[in-house]
Amino acid sequence: MLQGISDSFLTGGGFIMIIGCVESITVEYGGFFGGTEKRVITHDGDKIVVERTFYNGASDDGKLLYVGKTWTDLLQGMDSLHIDNWAEQYNDPDVLDGTQWSLDIEYGKGADGVHYWGSNKYPDNFGDFLRVMEM
């Protein structure tokens, strides 16, 4: 599982047990024709801090993100998705010029981060994930 996390964090398993250790969340989502957005989401206390970068024609729509939400709210939303049950990769090689995505979660306390990605294939609850991420 996660090296560097003590057993007390892992009792019962799953993402919720390590919520207090999440340092940052990086999400990239987009494709060849619609452009790609990258978000690096961190926190200052319980305040969500977002750095956005746009590639290949994607642009900032000016929408305010995570209004009225705290870092804890965001992590609890992610926890409800059971991301720890996702496969590390989702790939459909038969689709060209589709949508690529990635999710990186970095932990503190010396723990290894996790990386998930896909190309034209997604976990069953990916739409819910996009709603939590407000993408």
Is residue 20 situated within a structural domain?
yes
Is residue 1 situated within a structural domain?
no
Q: Residue 10's pLDDT is what? A: 39
Is residue 52 situated within a structural domain?
yes
Is residue 2 situated within a structural domain?
no
User: Is pLDDT larger for residue 1 or for residue 60?
Assistant: 60
Is residue 79 situated within a structural domain?
yes
Phi, psi of 77 (to 5 degrees): -60, -45
Question: What 3 state SS string does 20-58 have?
Answer: HHEEEEEEEEEECCCEEEEEEEEEECCEEEEEEEEECCC
Is residue 45 situated within a structural domain?
yes
Q: Tens of pLDDT along 5-35? A: 443 343 344 554 467 789 999 999 998 778 9
Q: Tens of pLDDT along 106-135? A: 998 778 889 999 999 999 999 999 999 999
- The number of distinct structural domains making up the chain is 1
Its pTM stands at 0.84
**Strand locations in 1-135 (E):** 22-31, 35-44, 47-55, 89-91, 99-107, 114-119
Domain that holds residue 32: 7-133
User: Is pLDDT larger for residue 1 or for residue 66?
Assistant: 66
Is residue 114 situated within a structural domain?
yes
Q: Which pair of structure tokens corresponds to residue 133?
A: 């991420």
Q: Tens of pLDDT along 33-51? A: 789 999 999 999 999 999 9
Is residue 108 situated within a structural domain?
yes
